[in-house]
Structure 1
Amino acid sequence: MPLLEAAGISKVFGKLTALDGAALSVGEREFHGLIGPNGSGKSTLMKCLAGALVPTRGKVTFINTDVTSLTPPERARAGMSLKFQITAVLPTLTLYDNILLALQARSSLLDLAFSRSRGRLHEEVMTLLLQFRLADRAFDAAATLSHGQQQWLEIAMALACRPRLLLLDEPTGGMSLEERRVTGELLQPIKQHCSLVIVEHDLDFIRDICDRLTVLDQGKVLASGTVAEIQANRSVQEIYLRRA
């Protein structure tokens, strides 16, 4: 059984049909990329998967449970975690405290009320910062980080809840070529315990890290398959040439 399955997903905004029967299937410890021209429906589908939007029609199943109508917090408790393109770190707090707050979301109210969680979570905070090459900046304000480093911090925060599935919407937007390369290296180890769905415009980046790709065009799935299958697909080649 797939970890995540979306079937017949349509989303209508007034007279605009943003998605028209889109489908997606993601396996355990699979990195799955969503690609397509601007306006093809990638981010809308991602929001339907995360619960930020409710589909007009269709069904989203996660770990054999229908989550179509669940809110983002309910999906997070079920094991999903989402990072949108716009960075949402708390800029005046240190990197350490940003990660700590993300980890404390798993703590009981009693632990938080008596400040029991800070010491207990210290090792996890530092492990995440080290994993994303930010440990030497642990006690700097998040606002002092580069754009790429802020994105890494937010990915670390998204992983703090130990999700089964991480959803990333254009994580390398605005990054330098070197930051994109490092981002790919930082994401690879999470495959040991977490699946990934990623929306990305950088085709070289997404080709290098993903196992499978789904291509959207005008709200519909044009093709889905391995990276090699998608690269050889004539219809996919044509839409990118047409929109170039």
Structure 2
Amino acid sequence: MPLLEAAGIRKIFGKLTAVDGAALTVRENEFHGLIGPNGSGKSTLMKCIAGAEVPTQGKVRFINTDITTFTPTERARAGMSLKFQITSVLPSLTLYDNILLALQGHCSLFDLVFSRSRRQLHDQVMMMLTQFRLADRAFDAAAALSHGQQQWLEIAMALAGKPRLLLLDEPTGGMSLEERRVTGELLRPIKEHCSLVIVEHDLDFIRDICDRLTVLDQGRVLATGSVAEIQADKSVQEIYLRRA
């Protein structure tokens, strides 16, 4: 049974059809990339999956439940987590407190009211900071981090609730080559417990970490397959040459 199924997704904004009948299937413990030229509908499809946009037509099923009309909060409770391209960490707070707040979002009201969560969550906070190579900056303000480090912090925050599916929209945008390499290293271990859908323009990056790719062009799915199958697809080669 697939973890995520999006079928016949259509999204219309006025006279613009941004996504036109797109479909996406993601399996358990799979890294699935969404690629295509600028304006192909990748981010809009991602938003329809995440609940930031409601599709004009089509269905989204997650863990065999129809979540098409679920709010983003309801999707998060079901086990889905999203990180958009723009970093949304709290810059004046320390890295430690950013992670702590993300974890506290999944605590009971009783633990929060009686201030038990900080002590109980300390080990988890430090474990996540260590996992994303940020433990030595734990008590620095998030604003002091490089752009790439802020992205790693936000990915760690998105994983705080132990989601079954993580959605990432262009996480390497603005990163250096070294930061992109490290980002791939940081993401690979989460496959043991979390699937990933990632929108990315860096084809080398996405090719290195993804199991399968879906290619969009003008709002429609052009091809879906393994990395090798997509690389060999003549129609995919054509659209990238056409838009180069």
Q: How does the TM-score come out when normalised to structure 1?
A: 1.00
SS at the partner of 1:183? helix
Shift of 1:114: 1.0
The answer for the alignment partner of 2:118 in structure 1 is 118
The answer for the alignment partner of 1:224 in structure 2 is 224
Matched, 1:86 2:90: no
* Distance in 2 between residues matched to 1:35 and 1:157, nearest whole Å: 25
Shift of 1:230: 0.1
May I ask how many residue pairs the two structures share in their alignment?
244
The answer for the alignment partner of 2:17 in structure 1 is 17
Question: Where do 1:98-177 residues align within 5 Å?
Answer: 98-177=98-177
* Distance in 2 between residues matched to 1:54 and 1:115, nearest whole Å: 38
5+ residue gaps, structure 2, are none
* Distance in 2 between residues matched to 1:20 and 1:153, nearest whole Å: 34
* Distance in 1 between residues matched to 2:232 and 2:131, nearest whole Å: 35
5+ residue gaps, structure 1, are none
Matched, 1:241 2:241: yes
* Distance in 1 between residues matched to 2:214 and 2:232, nearest whole Å: 13
* Distance in 1 between residues matched to 2:62 and 2:73, nearest whole Å: 14
SS at the partner of 2:34? strand
* Distance in 2 between residues matched to 1:72 and 1:106, nearest whole Å: 15
The answer for the alignment partner of 2:55 in structure 1 is 55
* Distance in 1 between residues matched to 2:156 and 2:74, nearest whole Å: 20
The answer for the alignment partner of 2:4 in structure 1 is 4
Counterpart of 1:104, as a letter, is: Q
Question: What is the RMSD computed on CA atoms of the aligned residues?
Answer: 0.3
Shift of 1:110: 1.3
| Structure 1 runs (4+) greater than 3 angstroms displaced | none
SS at the partner of 1:181? helix
The answer for the alignment partner of 1:214 in structure 2 is 214
Shift of 1:207: 0.1
* Distance in 2 between residues matched to 1:73 and 1:137, nearest whole Å: 30
Matched, 1:199 2:199: yes
The answer for the alignment partner of 1:190 in structure 2 is 190
